[in-house]
Structure 1
Amino acid sequence: MDMNAYLSMFIDESNDHLQSLNENLLRLESEPEELSIVQNIFRSAHTLKGMSATMGFEDLAALTHEMENVLDLVRNSKLKMDSFIFDTLFKGLDALEAMVQDIVGGGTGKADVTSIVASLQIILKSDYSASSASAAPVVAANASISSASGAMLLDEFQSSILLQSIETGHNVYHIQIAIRDNCMLKAVRAYMVFDLLERNGEVIKSDPSVQDIEQEKFDFTFSVFTISNLKQEDLQSQLLNISEIETAEVTLLDAESLAVLGQSTAAAAVETVEAAQIEAPVVAKAKEDAAPSSQAAKGQAPAAANTPANVSRTIRVDIERLDALMNLFSELLIDRVRLEQLSSEIKRNDLTETVEHMTRVSSDLQSIVLKLRMVPVDSVFNRFPRMIRDLAKSLDKKIDLVITGADTELDRTVIDEIGDPLVHLLRNSVDHGIETVEERIAAGKPETGTIYLRAYHSGNHVFIEVEEDGRGIHHERVLKTAVKNGVVTEEQAKLLSADEINMLIFAAGFSTADKISDISGRGVGLDVVRSKITSLGGNVTIDSAFGRGTKFSVQLPLTLSIISAMLIKLGSEKYAIPLSSIVETGIIRKEQILHVHGNKMIEFRNVIIPLVSLSKVLDSPDFNENEETETEIVVVRKGEKWAAVMVDEFIGQSEIVLKTLGKYLTNVEAISGATILGDGYVALIIDPNALIK
């Protein structure tokens, strides 16, 4: 079998499982007694191990197996999680992620994990397990099930899950499987049994253990406790249909039989339970309203009998196919604009009606295509809890990260670019914003600082906010550093408002850190954040109160592929200015132009703003605004800064398809791309951010 055909699927699913492991380990660190989280972690690790072994990535499978052994002790209450175990498991996850990335790059997924494996084996030693284990769950003496494979004990957690499942109307079975004694691949047959059971429910306990069965450390019989949504007869029939299965005895359990067969719960006193012999299975009427086992584990009521299951109807699509779809639709949009123009010139009713219908259909298609490219910001946000946890630990700070709006959607192009700026903002908040525990207590604050990461829609934009309840920006210190670095003069510093002082931290190379660290204060500053965000057509603002905290607000466009723009004319050439940057349009007379220190300015809303000559910026020889008695202007905005741009003529508003220019016009900073208009001509797209200094 050619495993390369499944490599892409393996990588995608491995990344999903690694993310799930990270998230659940973080949850377990805050809720160490919640064993249901351990079950989820174990399940993801076990699946990842099996996938890796199947694909032939032995190092990946081996490390996961060692981590799984530790998790198995935890879920069976033989080991209590502590700081060393959490740190070791997180290091293991980092190594697994590095291995998967190596596979993505065409490697074999090999890595030196000797130190991590050594740490895991220390944890697995009996003396470490015994010393770190909490008071074990109360175990009923001799509580067992007599079966061909020997005694099978249920711990407190497993018993409670099975009991809750029975009480909420789910089917709980004890199953004894016998494989033909001449079977050559008994582990494979056992795997097929477990696969069938997990597709139709959840396996709670097996004897021997799953690991032993995988390694063929069993005779030809094994038994399991399982929760299933299949009827008893159907389950038994499907098990017997598996090749080389000799017998499959399926026993439906009720609360009474479970109490006899399983061990006592923590509420019961330690008492001796006589070993119960399971008689031949009795066919019983199964519940028709069985729900997924995850509901049973949570103690939720099963769904009604006639309610259809809420099945996920999603598929994975290669992003290159979506890009190709967007490119094809872009061509269709260009032709649509062309047809609209021809229709207005020809003025035939039947043609006009057809074009109008095509416009409505293509608008719906445009909405669908754009939604296909929309990705929840959760795909970026989900890496931050682990990052904050590690940073806080390295700085000896206590920090909670609160994420809201993670389901807010952005275009994939924006998602791909926004991750690094957010990492820098969060690192800055951890290092410069949140105080140490001692400082917070002295300031009358809770010892644990909080960082809020929010995302929400507003109009055609998405806002992402990073807010913390830390020190806030010290204006005097910022001004002193800005003057020292030559960002502003002492005279200019005296005239700056509070908001303008806050924005100084975005100056290139600006840093108030007392010493250089790996977290922030490396001389890079936040200028890289602003540069990246402005290149995406967005902007970033700061709101801060000294002693109370700081909030960074990032505004981003929903998509960068199809945008609304104002078409303007400059001499014989046509240009497009994105509507998201336009404040308003207007006309000014020549006598309204002011001259301040040799620069042209105009008064706009009681504020003096610069007047930019677009013809000079673009070196347009066939238009001279000096000859005009009045000139059209477009007022554009970049953050809190405004500018008025002189143009020759307004053409109108239109939706345009953004096309990159590649290596062309790289020396003209005011051009961000191009588009094809309805008349077939190419119009350059103006970058307003480059016009505002």
Structure 2
Amino acid sequence: MELNQYLSMFIDESKEHLQAINENLLKLEATPEDISIVQVIFRSAHTLKGMSATMGFEDLASLTHEMENVLDLVRNHKLQMNPFIFDTIFRSVDSLESMVHDITAGGTGKADVTEIVQALKSIVSGDYASGGAASGSAAGESAPFADRLDEFQYSVLLQSLEAGMQVYRIEVALQATCILKAARAYMVFDTLEQNGEVVKSFPSVEDIEKEKFDRGFTVFVVSHVEAAVLDKAVANISEIERVEVAPLDADALFKLKAAGGRDAAGASTSAAPAEAKAQTSALQQMSAASAVLDKPAAAGSPASAPAQAPSAAPVGGRTIRVDIERLDVLMNLFSELLIDRVRLEQLASEIRVNDLTETVEHMARVSTDLQNIVLKLRMVPVDNVFNRFPRMIRDLAKSLDKKVDLVITGAETELDRTVIDEIGDPLVHLLRNAVDHGIETVAERIAAGKPETGTVQLRAYHSGNHVFIDIQEDGKGINRDKVVKSAIEKGVLSAEQAKSLKDEEVYQLLFASGFSTADKISDISGRGVGLDVVKTKIESLGGNVTVASKLGQGTTFTVQLPLTLSIISAMLIRMGDEKYAIPLSSILETSIVQRDQIRLVHGAKVIQFRDHIVPLVSLSSLFDIPSYSEANEAETEIVVIRKGDKMAALMVDEFIGQQEIVLKSLGLYLTNLFAVSGATILGDGQVALIIDTNALIK
């Protein structure tokens, strides 16, 4: 009990220290001579070592101690950082993260770190310089153990078979062009876990997470669905070259177990279950907890009993898994409650009975607190996606022999969980594209008079009921003529059509399926290769993607995503007989302007607002409202809205006030409406359209 009391604190602090080490290692790689950064990394490693030893996680403490020895030499000027040392420490941090994840999932935090420890020791002794250290290749990748089951795995699969479920052996091969193999493998595991349970993988889950495999891996799966369903589900994942699903019966399982038993002769009887348990823990990290595995591990594997130390107990009270559909139901029910609350508030203001008014006010306060909790349940910072990109960019730039800085801003911006889960893959495509074909080589940048290090900026920010993510690089930009020429050659458009296209329309051609302007298609990306996938995925989420580019200066991809919230704060306005809602998050200020303050610039109305010239938009003209026109007004009320660093002013008739509103879709028949993102039901039963302010700012 006393140990578990501090386990939650240990996990949180360990993750913070590991994240700090990762970030500071990237900084140190940029400025290797800055010993102050080494001091910060050393302190984090030293603290992590002490905490691990105190909690009894010896493998964690041992690996961190070896890291500490290397860092100690560096900070005392007895050793200089070089690519091999950086790569080894990065691999060490990856192993530490895997062990902490295992502990979080209830595991013991044990892992085979022999190879990395040897590499760290060789750095301390100096042997690595003469080739004494391992190169980091995955030992055992070629060992033919894919079809061998230990006692624990055999027990799980056989009991599942006897319970009426299907057991499959699935071979998966990735395409040779696949860069992020671990991420693609995760998608395969996630798909399989949605249709069943993974009992064994070869290579191990830990090796797969570290990309210690070639292009293929094998998994044994327990499922209730047909083989064809699994085959199709995995084959639909992009960058999968081949899938083979083979059903297994009891005889086949026995033969595989016998093969495993012969190879394990002389080995520790507890080794196989411990390894299987570690794999199970890692899979739990990837997806839902395995009910099938839990039962045999407790009842059918006596050898696993010694591992039941206090540190192996699951972390209680930290998180629980909730089906996303239940959260959807909760959100819908609360939305209806909010509509009734607004109606009650209106009735109370009309009836004016003190007891009723006090009760309604109390209910409003309670429901507001409840609303905040309901909204936050589904919201996750985009940092959950962004935090893996610095390492990806670092590795990508290294493989391309380029110098690239990734600058992240707005990582605290929150998005709906379902959008977060889906947005990672498109962003990976765009970032790979930016580094590979946007940023020039060092020689090209110097010749163009640019700094030798290119910059990729990844920005996230809220605007209205949308989140925008910008991927901006200062590379070579998109050659309009080259895009048009390629489009004409491929028959996408004629030469006559090409003459009338604006730049923005030309850049949209990049999203055509298979379209590319690259002279030579790279293994990593081609300008346009994979962008059709990006556009399809983002549009399936209710968003869109736009491109802006200047030749020789760089390119910016802007991804617009819906918050997918059912409840937002809005300003209700009146336009004649009609009411509209403007999302409060997009409103900068409200004001009143006189007719003589309105100017005409190139035929468009503008006003001066705080040293800025801001375009003026007439909502009565935009929505063709017959009951109101600003033309007859000596002065008009305005709402100043913003989208990023751009602003506009909307002319309105009257402000009603701020209100929490429920976002309702307009159904299947009213689609693609300009500047309208949905509707809401007001307290008096009237329907008000919700203005999409982002559509009004270009």
TM-score (norm 2): 0.52
Partner of 2:346: 341
Does residue 306 of structure 2 align to residue 292 of structure 1? no
Q: Deviation at 1:481?
A: 9.1
CA displacement 1:559-612 (0-9 Å, x = unmatched): 632111111111111111112222222223333333344433333334443332
| Paired amino acid for 2:168 | E
Cα distance in 2 between the residues matched to 1:413 and 1:110: 19
* 1:149-298 to 2 correspondences below 5 Å: 223-224=269-270, 291-292=310-311
Cα distance in 1 between the residues matched to 2:467 and 2:609: 28
Does residue 675 of structure 2 align to residue 656 of structure 1? no
| Paired amino acid for 1:614 | L
Distance 1:368 1:395, change over 3 A: same
Distance 1:628 1:442, change over 3 A: closer
Partner of 2:229: 106
Gaps of at least 5 residues in structure 2 are 1-21, 23-85, 99-110, 114-137, 141-145, 174-188, 190-197, 245-249, 275-295, 485-494
CA displacement 1:216-264 (0-9 Å, x = unmatched): 8889997447999xxxxxxxxxx9x96898x9999x9xxxxxxxxxxxx
Partner of 2:565: 560
CA displacement 1:390-416 (0-9 Å, x = unmatched): 966985768797989978742225425
Cα distance in 1 between the residues matched to 2:543 and 2:457: 24
Cα distance in 1 between the residues matched to 2:226 and 2:88: 29
Partner of 1:585: 590
Partner of 1:611: 616
Distance 1:57 1:690, change over 3 A: same
Cα distance in 1 between the residues matched to 2:546 and 2:365: 36
Distance 1:479 1:421, change over 3 A: same
* SS across alignment from 1:683: strand
Does residue 645 of structure 2 align to residue 521 of structure 1? no
Partner of 2:91: 31
Partner of 2:599: 594
| Paired amino acid for 1:107 | L
| Contact 2:604–2:615, Cα closer than 8 Å, also in 1 | yes
* SS across alignment from 2:355: helix
2:369 to 347, 364, 372: 364
Bigger radius of gyration among the two = 1
Cα distance in 1 between the residues matched to 2:257 and 2:452: 44
* 1:462-611 to 2 correspondences below 5 Å: 472=475, 508-509=508-509, 515=519, 517=521, 519-522=525-528, 560-611=565-616
Does residue 359 of structure 2 align to residue 354 of structure 1? yes
CA displacement 1:473-532 (0-9 Å, x = unmatched): 669x789999x977999xxxxxxxxxxxxx979954479965374724239989987996
Distance 1:107 1:70, change over 3 A: closer
Does residue 681 of structure 2 align to residue 676 of structure 1? yes
Gaps of at least 5 residues in structure 1 are 1-22, 76-80, 119-183, 189-209, 229-238, 253-285, 294-307, 490-502
| Paired amino acid for 2:216 | G
Cα distance in 1 between the residues matched to 2:693 and 2:314: 51
Q: Deviation at 1:669?
A: 1.1
* SS across alignment from 2:572: strand
Q: Deviation at 1:331?
A: 0.6
Distance 1:395 1:625, change over 3 A: same
Q: Deviation at 1:681?
A: 1.0
Partner of 2:279: none
Cα distance in 1 between the residues matched to 2:310 and 2:342: 52
Cα distance in 2 between the residues matched to 1:637 and 1:618: 20
Cα distance in 2 between the residues matched to 1:674 and 1:643: 22
Distance 1:433 1:621, change over 3 A: same
Partner of 1:323: 328
| Contact 1:405–1:456, Cα closer than 8 Å, also in 2 | yes
Partner of 2:626: 621
| Contact 1:541–1:554, Cα closer than 8 Å, also in 2 | no
Residues 523-532 or 657-666, more deviating: 523-532
CA displacement 1:27-64 (0-9 Å, x = unmatched): 9895389987764999xx99997778856342228999
* SS across alignment from 1:31: helix
Partner of 1:56: 166
Distance 1:32 1:333, change over 3 A: closer
> Taking CA–CA contacts closer than 8 Å with sequence separation of 6 or more, which of the two structures ends up with the larger relative contact order?
2
| Paired amino acid for 1:522 | G
Distance 1:516 1:678, change over 3 A: farther
| Paired amino acid for 2:166 | G
| Contact 1:463–1:553, Cα closer than 8 Å, also in 2 | yes
| Contact 1:675–1:685, Cα closer than 8 Å, also in 2 | yes
| Paired amino acid for 2:91 | E
* SS across alignment from 1:586: strand
Q: Deviation at 1:369?
A: 1.0
Partner of 2:215: 91
| Paired amino acid for 2:230 | G
| Contact 1:665–1:671, Cα closer than 8 Å, also in 2 | no
TM-score (norm 1): 0.52
* SS across alignment from 1:423: helix
* SS across alignment from 1:106: helix
Cα distance in 2 between the residues matched to 1:114 and 1:646: 53
Distance 1:70 1:567, change over 3 A: closer
Q: Deviation at 1:346?
A: 1.6
Cα distance in 2 between the residues matched to 1:358 and 1:423: 45
| Paired amino acid for 1:411 | D
* SS across alignment from 1:107: helix
Partner of 1:690: 695
Cα distance in 1 between the residues matched to 2:229 and 2:556: 41
Distance 1:664 1:449, change over 3 A: same
| Paired amino acid for 1:59 | R
* SS across alignment from 1:311: coil
Q: How many residues align?
A: 489
CA displacement 1:94-152 (0-9 Å, x = unmatched): x879999x98993357989999999xxxxxxxxxxxxxxxxxxxxxxxxxxxxxxxxxx
Distance 1:656 1:531, change over 3 A: farther
| Paired amino acid for 1:571 | G
* 1:397-476 to 2 correspondences below 5 Å: 409-415=414-420, 418-419=423-424, 422-436=427-441, 472=475
Cα distance in 2 between the residues matched to 1:59 and 1:555: 41
| Contact 1:455–1:465, Cα closer than 8 Å, also in 2 | yes
* SS across alignment from 1:663: coil
* SS across alignment from 1:58: strand
Cα distance in 1 between the residues matched to 2:451 and 2:614: 45
Cα distance in 1 between the residues matched to 2:91 and 2:609: 57
| Paired amino acid for 1:31 | R
Among all aligned residue pairs of Structure 1 and Structure 2, give the percentage whose two residues are the same amino acid.
52
| Paired amino acid for 2:213 | L
| Paired amino acid for 1:631 | T
Cα distance in 2 between the residues matched to 1:530 and 1:243: 47
| Contact 1:575–1:685, Cα closer than 8 Å, also in 2 | yes
| Contact 2:570–2:660, Cα closer than 8 Å, also in 1 | yes
| Contact 1:452–1:467, Cα closer than 8 Å, also in 2 | yes
| Paired amino acid for 1:691 | L
Q: Deviation at 1:215?
A: 5.4
Distance 1:384 1:641, change over 3 A: closer
| Contact 1:507–1:525, Cα closer than 8 Å, also in 2 | no
| Contact 1:426–1:466, Cα closer than 8 Å, also in 2 | yes
Cα distance in 2 between the residues matched to 1:611 and 1:457: 22
| Paired amino acid for 2:380 | V
* SS across alignment from 1:621: coil
| Contact 2:406–2:457, Cα closer than 8 Å, also in 1 | yes
Q: Deviation at 1:441?
A: 9.3
Distance 1:575 1:420, change over 3 A: farther
